Structure formats: C-alpha cells, structure tokens
Amino acid sequence: MKAYIKFFFTCARYIIPSRVLLCMLTSLFCALSPFISFSQGKEANIWYFGVHAGIDFNTGSPPSVLLNGQTYLFTGPNAGSACISDANGNLLFYTDGVKIWNQNHVVMQNGDNLGYKTTQGAMIVKDPGNQNYYYFFNYAWETASWQYFFQYSVIDMALDNGLGGVVPSLKNIRLGSHMSEHLSAVHHANTEDVWVVAHGLGTSNYYSFLVTADSLHTQPVVSNAGGIFTSNSGYMKISPDGQLIGAGVQIGTGGIFNLLSFNNATGVISENFYLSIPMSSFGVEFSPDNNKLYISGGISHFIQLDLNAGSSQDILNSMFTIGTAMGALQLGPDGKIYCAHSGYYLGVINNPNEAGIACNYDPQGVFLGSGYCSVGLPSFIQSYLNDPEYATTQHCAGQPTQFNIANTNGIDSVYWKFKDFGNMPNDTSTLLSPAYTFSGPGTYYPELTVYSGLLHKTVKDTVVIYPLPTPQLGSDTLFCPGATIALMLDAGPGDTYNWNGNFTPGSQTLAVTDTGTYFVRVRQHGCNGYDTIQVGSYPPATADITNAQFNNS
C-alpha cells in the first residue's frame, strides 16, 4: 500500500507519494547520467501528419510547409503518425499506422494493411546492426476479441530499387495483447540500442522492448508502476535523456497523468519518482533540457511544470497555465515544442526550457497552408531531440580544461563561448573538443552552440575551476642523529597526501628518522600541489680536553 501526501489547488486534487523528497529530485535531475546526445543526425527533420499536412526543418526554423503528404487523419483522437529521414535529413518513409508511404509518396511495397489508426500511430526504429533495416511498431485492432495488439514489421530499404518495402515474412508479428495506444522510444544508456515502450489497457503494466544489433528482444521488461490505464486515448513520452516517462490518459473530462522514473540501462519503470495528477490529459512533452514538463488535455488544461522546482509540492506550485491546446505535443529538432489543436496552424512553444511566460507560446506559430492538423503529430525516438551535452575534465587553475561533446553525429559546426571575462575576447573556440585554460579559479558558465544544417541549439553549463593546493613544509631543517622529527603541513586539509611516493590518504604529518630530501603531493578536487624539504643532521658532538685539568689526589 502506497503512502500519499495530498495537495489541493483550486478544483483539482493532486496526489504525490510522500517518499518523493527534495533530495531524490536533486539526485535525479542533477546527477551526471549516461550521455544521450543531441540527435543522431537529421532523422526527425521531416514531419507528415493530419490531412496532407507536413513541415520540413531542413530549411531552418521556423520550418517550411510541405503539401505533398498522403496522410488523412481528420477527426477523433486516432490521428497519430510516424516519419523517418536519413542522417542527412532526406525523407525515407512515413506512416499513419495503416499504410507506409515511401519518399515518392507512394504506398511502399507490401506497405498496406499494417494495422489500425491510433493515438500515437506508430514508431520507427532503425536496426542498430543493419543500415538497411527498420523496425516498424504499431497497433492492430481485433473486433472479435475487442482489443488492440502490439506488433512489429521489418522494412528493408534495399527493396524496390532503394525505395524500401515491408519484408513479407516479417509483417504484423504480434508482441502483446490487451494494449492501450500509448507508445514511446528512447536510446539505451549505451547510445546504440533502443528501448520501445508500450502499455497495457486495464492494467498498470509498462512493456519495454529492446532493439539491439543482434535482434529485437521479443520478451519485454515488464514494470508494474503508476495508475491503471482505463482508456486507450492519450500520449506517452520518455524524456530525451531517458530518465523519466510521462503518460496521459484521457477519459472524457476525466483521466489521469502519470510521471515515473525510467532506467534507460535496464528498461525498468519504477516509482522512485512518481507524480500522479487526476486530470484529463492527452498530449505530453519534455523540454529539450529535460527540466520542464508540458501537458495538454482540453481547453482548460495546457500547463507547464518545473521539474527542478524542488519538492513535490514545489513542482505542483510551479504549475503555469500556458493557454489552450488539446492535442499532441512534439519536440522538434529546433528545440521548440509544436502543439496540435485542430486547424491550419500549429502552436509553438518557442523557449520550452524557460519557466512560465518566458516559454513564449504562440498558438499560431506555423501556418500549414492547405494542410490541416487534427490532434495528432508524428512520433520519434525521443533521444533524437535531446539538447546537446558536453563533459569537462581537468578543473585546475592554470591548466587546460578539456571539453568533449557527448556525440558529434549530425553536427556540422560548433561555437564555444567560455564566458571568461578575464580573457575576453579570446575566450571562444570553434573546435569540436577544445582545451581551454581559464584565467583563474572561480565558477564559469560556458555556452555551446551546435549547428546542424540550418538549425542550431545553444546550451549552458557550469564549470568550477579550483585553485591548486599550496602545501608548505617550511625551511630545510636539521635534527639529531637517532632522534625523530615530524614533518607537518601548515596548509589546509586535502583529499589525499603522498609522501615520497607513498600513498597516505588523510595524513598531514610524516615521522622522519633519517636524513634526505622529502617531498609531499597534496591532492584536492583533482588538483595537485607539491613541496619539498631537505632534512639534515647536526654533526656529532666532540669533547675538547686540550686544557683540561685532572686532580690526581
């Protein structure tokens, strides 16, 4: 039985497990996690959705309008789609969950009768072990048993003279029964394999299927967590960094929203972090920096939550009502979130990493021309859309700090601004992995701008440069033979000490019984400081008896 704390705001009740404390949130969002990088290329650059609607990010941001799409997803919640391009942004194929169209907008070879139109439509995953193969995941409805089945097919892009085709022997292979329409995917912690996650109907079971270079693992990791899904309708998204999973369930004016922990190394979904909101929720999306959560679900529910606000109550208190949007939400390769709301426009959250009104929502951000958007948008592997990330090594004053981007695939060029006022204007670089020496100890906030085609993203991070330890052994000294002296440091404590090459952590003194040169290395925050001292001995005492007088009486 779970223990809950209940919070009441206006007319809604928000339920949060009491064990979700501030320290847990801090470790969850701020600890260094395995890198999931900024796109694997330009695979998510072309979208087709709604009624002959489409947009192309290869031309920059805002995207250009496409009017050659073949999807016809007009009414109702079953309006999801999926698209995939190659690493250079060239369209390969797209789907409404029932048919697959190739790059010429013709039904792909053997690419019909694939399933059913559903909320999230389908998911397309490239085979990590074969450049020509793609896994196509979708749902099929069976009236006789009145249920959805989760299934997959395999597409071979070598078929039909390179236009691709569904392999006849690997078509509509079932993976699970009694499923909802929720579906999401993200890269494994190893950045190569992919997790594909589905959910059961009438249960709280999540099913995580792993796609590796060897095969699709058809036995899923089953996680029983969160609330029971009593409706098919709604979207499910894994955060781009693979640490959280959010799912909305829409039931008329009711429903629920669940936010849970996702382990991208094991595929396990757990209540290590658990937030449940009893509200009608349909669309869900994370900001590219993974710190903001957006939920849509009706005219009165289009909200932002700040996942870094602090405690559970602080997160709920951060709730900001953005506007009106009742459809899908999808993060774009330009770092903006696009919002479906039945019409000839897409709403756009221009700055989704920013809190409150600064997120800058435009309900008519992109005009679709004659294309019409219902309530669905295409689904992609979420880690394609993560913010760029970089790591640093060597944080010592006077020494170069090395900057390394997690993954450079799909990156055309970069611009680093190290924000080092002591070195301006010479504090920039265009190298992928620069080594930069800061002007002195302190806290710095370097910015990385990544360019991919005509798109770019800028991210900020914090780098602390530490002063070098300054151990002081004092002046050279002498001692009496046979005696013992103690060499003592008058500097502050360090993490470790090394006397004459002997690892002696925590020891600020050394007992000396012999002459010689002694050195110490003090290590603190990964930075080393050194000092040496010469220890000699006093000459032995001698007696002068030249003028001595002896009394022989």
Which pLDDT belongs to residue 28? 35
For residue 492, what are its two tokens? 């502050």
- Length of the chain, in residues: 553
Are the C-beta atoms of residues 280 and 297 closer than 8 Å to each other?
yes
Q: Which domains does the chain have, with CATH numbers?
A: 4-385 (2.130.10), 390-465 (2.60.40.10), 478-537 (2.60.40)
Which pLDDT belongs to residue 15? 33
d(CA 53, CA 64): 11
In degrees, rounded to 5, the angle at the alpha carbon of residue 266 between the alpha carbons of residues 265 and 267 is 105
Which pLDDT belongs to residue 304? 96
The dihedral over CA atoms of 141, 142, 146, 150, expressed in degrees to the nearest 10, equals: -50
The dihedral over CA atoms of 101, 106, 112, 115, expressed in degrees to the nearest 10, equals: 30
d(CA 156, CA 136): 11
> What are the pLDDT tens digits along the chain (553 aa)?
233 222 222 233 233 333 333 333 333 333 333 343 444 479 999 999 999 999 999 999 999 999 999 999 987 667 889 999 999 999 999 999 999 999 999 999 999 999 999 988 799 999 999 999 999 999 999 999 999 999 999 999 999 999 999 999 999 999 999 999 999 999 999 999 999 999 999 999 999 999 999 999 999 999 999 999 988 889 999 999 999 999 998 876 667 889 999 999 999 999 988 888 888 789 999 999 999 999 998 666 799 999 998 877 788 889 999 987 779 999 999 999 999 988 999 999 999 999 999 999 999 999 999 999 999 999 999 999 988 888 999 999 999 999 999 878 778 899 999 999 999 999 999 999 999 999 999 999 999 999 988 888 888 899 999 999 888 888 998 888 878 888 877 656 667 888 887 777 667 888 888 888 988 888 888 899 898 999 998 887 666 666 656 566 5
For the full predicted model, state whether its pTM sits above 0.85: no
Which pLDDT belongs to residue 299? 61
Instruction: Please identify which residue in the block is written with the tokens 């691709």.
Output: 164
- Where are the strands (E) in 386-438, listed by range? 390-393, 401-405, 413-417, 428-429, 435-436
Number of other CB atoms surrounding residue 75 within 10 Å:
10
Specify burial of residue 28 (Cβ count, 10 A radius: 0-12, 13-18, 19+): middle
* Centroid of chain to Cα 274: 18
**Residue 91, CB-side half-sphere exposure with 13 Å CA sphere:** 22
Kindly give, in sequence order, each residue whose CB lies less than 8 Å from that of residue 121, ignoring residues fewer than 6 positions away: 79, 80, 81, 82, 95, 96, 97, 138, 183, 376, 378, 379
168: phi then psi, degrees, rounded to nearest 5: -55, -40
Specify burial of residue 389 (Cβ count, 10 A radius: 0-12, 13-18, 19+): buried
